């Protein structure tokens, strides 16, 4: 238990933030009591979309809203699967217990259903967190992941700390353990929310992940800076500031009676138009501010190292020639290695 005390240093700003958030929560509860069902659902969707976007999902808020309403949207198949999984998971959010490792695995299984082959299972391979081809964090070996997760959630449940601090430590330590092969980021953010909900139910509707998305560079920087020295003080301060700012922003929006969701900045292609374009064999590139084509290629090959250039091209809406050029570039840069014969061989993602 003592080792968890080293993960943060008492700080005057920490105390002030906790006190300030407590005051804001009283106003937040009052605002929620006057909100409509549609407004409450919109707040949940904002939270889901922002967390998915942090993991490079390309769906916009309006697309997620359409998906939740049962409408069809035009996007990458993988992104739609992840979004549908997240929507289904958030419908049963109250059933998950933040201090049960079994529920952590169940949540991962729901998040990654039909996305990864090891959904709901701890990773069986080593992992590394890279930034610009530089290793910034080496998570523990697979053989100790289960024990470390169990120790973490058991210890934090018994630890006499304010729930705001506990939630940040849960987020930080799960990110450090990196228990799954994929989807760790959204699980960390969800588990922090669950700890907060157990303390104050109103956190079910606070989309603080929107603030993390807007400050994504600082978010990842605070995690990166904390890990090497195992001092989460900077990360906790960052998270509490985001929660405070999120409360202030959402309260202002609700008090000014502004709609929870704006209109899309650009008109979306109707499904009938999309089918017509495909029939005419017109290739269009799926746009999105959250990724580059080469990043999407590497992401797909990490999940399935047997994919062909044609399969990747079809999934990304690009020509096979364009994908082959990207593959050649990645091999030349040393980020991708091809092993085995041309047919039946495998790809190895180096970084």
- Give the separation between CA 316 and CA 299, rounded to whole angstroms: 12
- Inter-residue contact 193 to 203 (CB < 8 Å): yes
Answer yes or no: is 81 a known binding residue. Answer: no
Instruction: Report the SS3 class of residue 280.
Output: coil
- Which helix (H) or strand (E) element contains residue 26? helix 12-33
Instruction: Report the SS3 class of residue 339.
Output: strand
Answer yes or no: is 291 a known binding residue. Answer: no
Answer yes or no: is 227 a known binding residue. Answer: yes
Answer yes or no: is 189 a known binding residue. Answer: yes
Answer yes or no: is 99 a known binding residue. Answer: no
- Give the separation between CA 324 and CA 233, rounded to whole angstroms: 45
* Nearest CA among 20, 42, 19, 24 for reference residue 251: 24
* CA angle centred on 50, ends 46 and 53, rounded to 5°: 140
Answer yes or no: is 219 a known binding residue. Answer: yes
How many C-beta atoms lie closer than 10 Å to residue 18's C-beta? Answer: 16
- Give the separation between CA 164 and CA 9, rounded to whole angstroms: 15
Q: Identify whether 178 is a catalytic site residue.
A: yes
Beta bridge mates, 134? 131
Instruction: Give me the DSSP letters along 158-203.
Output: H--S-HHHHHHHHHHHHHHH--SSS-HHHHHHHHHHHHHHHH-GGG
Answer yes or no: is 123 a known binding residue. Answer: no
**Strands 346-349 and 336-339, sheet pairing:** antiparallel
- Inter-residue contact 55 to 185 (CB < 8 Å): yes
How many C-beta atoms lie closer than 10 Å to residue 232's C-beta? Answer: 28
Answer yes or no: is 114 a known binding residue. Answer: no
- Catalytic one among 178, 200, 230, 257? 178
Answer yes or no: is 242 a known binding residue. Answer: no
Answer yes or no: is 188 a known binding residue. Answer: yes
Answer yes or no: is 220 a known binding residue. Answer: yes
Which residues are within 8 A (CB) of 190 and not within 5 positions of it... i.e. 6 or more apart?
Answer: 51, 89, 107
Instruction: Supply the residues annotated as catalytic.
Output: 178
Indicate the annotated binding residues for ATP: 182-189, 219-220, 227
């Amino acid at each position: 238990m003592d080792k968890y005390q080293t993960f943060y240093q008492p700080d005057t700003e920490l105390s002030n933030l906790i006190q300030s958030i407590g005051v804001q929560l009283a106003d937040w509860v009052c605002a929620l009591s006057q909100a409509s069902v549609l407004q409450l659902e919109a707040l949940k969707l904002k939270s889901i979309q922002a967390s998915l976007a942090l993991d490079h999902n390309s769906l916009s808020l309006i697309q997620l809203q359409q998906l939740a309403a049962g409408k069809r949207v035009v996007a990458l198949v993988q992104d739609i699967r992840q979004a549908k999984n997240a929507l289904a998971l958030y419908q049963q959010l109250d059933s998950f217990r933040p201090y049960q490792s079994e529920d952590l695995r169940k949540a991962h299984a729901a998040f990654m259903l039909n996305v990864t082959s090891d959904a709901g299972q701890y990773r069986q391979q080593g992992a590394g967190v890279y930034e610009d081809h530089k290793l910034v964090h080496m998570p523990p070996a697979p053989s100790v992941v289960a024990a470390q997760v169990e120790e973490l959630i058991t210890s934090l449940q018994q630890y006499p700390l304010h729930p705001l601090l506990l939630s940040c430590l849960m987020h930080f330590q799960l990110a450090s353990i990196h228990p799954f092969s994929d989807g760790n980021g959204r699980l960390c953010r969800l588990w922090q929310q669950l700890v907060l909900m157990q303390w104050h139910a109103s956190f079910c509707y606070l989309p603080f992940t929107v603030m993390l998305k807007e400050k994504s560079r600082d978010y990842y920087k605070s995690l990166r800076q904390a890990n090497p020295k195992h001092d989460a003080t900077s990360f906790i301060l960052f998270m509490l500031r985001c929660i405070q700012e999120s409360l202030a922003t959402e309260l202002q929006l609700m008090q000014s009676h502004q709609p929870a969701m704006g209109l899309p900045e650009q008109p979306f292609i109707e499904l009938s138009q999309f089918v017509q374009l495909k029939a005419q064999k017109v290739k269009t590139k799926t746009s999105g501010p959250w990724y580059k084509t080469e990043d999407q290629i590497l992401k797909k090959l990490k999940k399935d190292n047997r994919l062909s250039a044609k399969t990747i091209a079809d999934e990304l809406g690009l020509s096979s020639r364009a994908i082959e050029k990207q593959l050649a570039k990645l091999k030349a840069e040393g980020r991708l290695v091809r092993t085995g014969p041309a047919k039946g061989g495998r790809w190895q993602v180096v970084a």
